Amino acid sequence: MLIDTHIHTKRCHHAEGDLEDYIIEAIKKGIKIIGFSEHAPLHFDLDKRLTQEESIKYLKDINRLKMKYKNKIKILAGFEIDYIEGYETQIKDFIDKTNADFYLGSIHFISLNEKIFTIWDYKEIQHNKILQHEYFRLMIKAIKTKLFNSISHPDLIFRAGFNEISFRKNFEQIFKELVKNNVCYEINCSGMFKTKYNPQTDTMDVGGFFNKKNLFKASKLDVQFTIGSDAHKIEDCGKGIKELTELVKLNKLKVVFFKNCKKQEIKI
């Protein structure tokens, strides 16, 4: 079964296409479960995410489309929420008010010495061990809050030019916390296609940062997974999902999705 539970639309103000465009594309590609995960409101970076009012309309529109396409595809409503230390109460309040199917927790921003770095400041991260440490510290805190059903693209730091060995111990701790707190690891297919920072040439090289060893290690420790393309364009809906499905089958990874924040196991 093909499933894609990480989709963005024009509503987040930095993607293309609207909800129904992706639903139609998913049906064409044989996807049986599609989950939208628009960026939740945040007190900064205001122009790349939904507002509170837009979030409510987004959920209403998804509920309408759930009924329209109920015989063709399962549609889920979710949010990708940036974990910001010290804003746990605000995040919980947003979750309580929206009552979506699932919530992805992300580490996109790292605060250090009164400056906010982004995870795509790859050159800075490559050469700053404190930023690297903070990335994992924040992820563990996000997991321990139990506010999120799954952590989206936890391996995103590999895009800064690292290999699996660099952070093996860090991820082993992440895997343990995921299992302990009943939180999933998102397998993000965009890692197959995006560029990766090359510290030798100071360029972004084609090749992606998808890390199979991480998945295999996590699986052995009983980590469960969600799957998403992280599409920001209609044509990218489901991109990499078929390839990933073969990997999942071959290695017997445990894949789930969430409906009303309750885990649903599926057979891929």
What is the mean pLDDT for each group of 10 consecutive residues in the chain (268 residues)? Answer: 97 98 98 98 94 97 98 98 97 97 98 92 96 98 98 97 95 98 98 95 92 94 98 98 94 96 92
Distance (Å, whole) CA 129 – CA 124:
9
**Structural domains of the chain sorted by starting position, each given as residue range(s) with its CATH number in brackets:** 2-265 (3.20.20.140)
Q: What is the pLDDT of residues 60-112, one digit of tens each?
A: 999 999 999 999 999 999 999 999 999 999 999 999 999 999 999 999 999 99
CB 161 within 8 A of CB 126: yes
Tokens of 61: 């529109």
pLDDT single digits (tens) 119-134: 999 999 999 999 999 9
Residue 173 to residues 21, 140, 214, 217: CA-CA distances in angstroms? 39, 8, 12, 11
Q: What is the Cα–Cα distance from 7 to 22, expressed in whole angstroms?
A: 8
Asked whether the beta carbons of 223 and 215 are under 8 A apart, the reply is: no
Torsion of CA 136, 142, 145, 147, to 10 degrees: -150
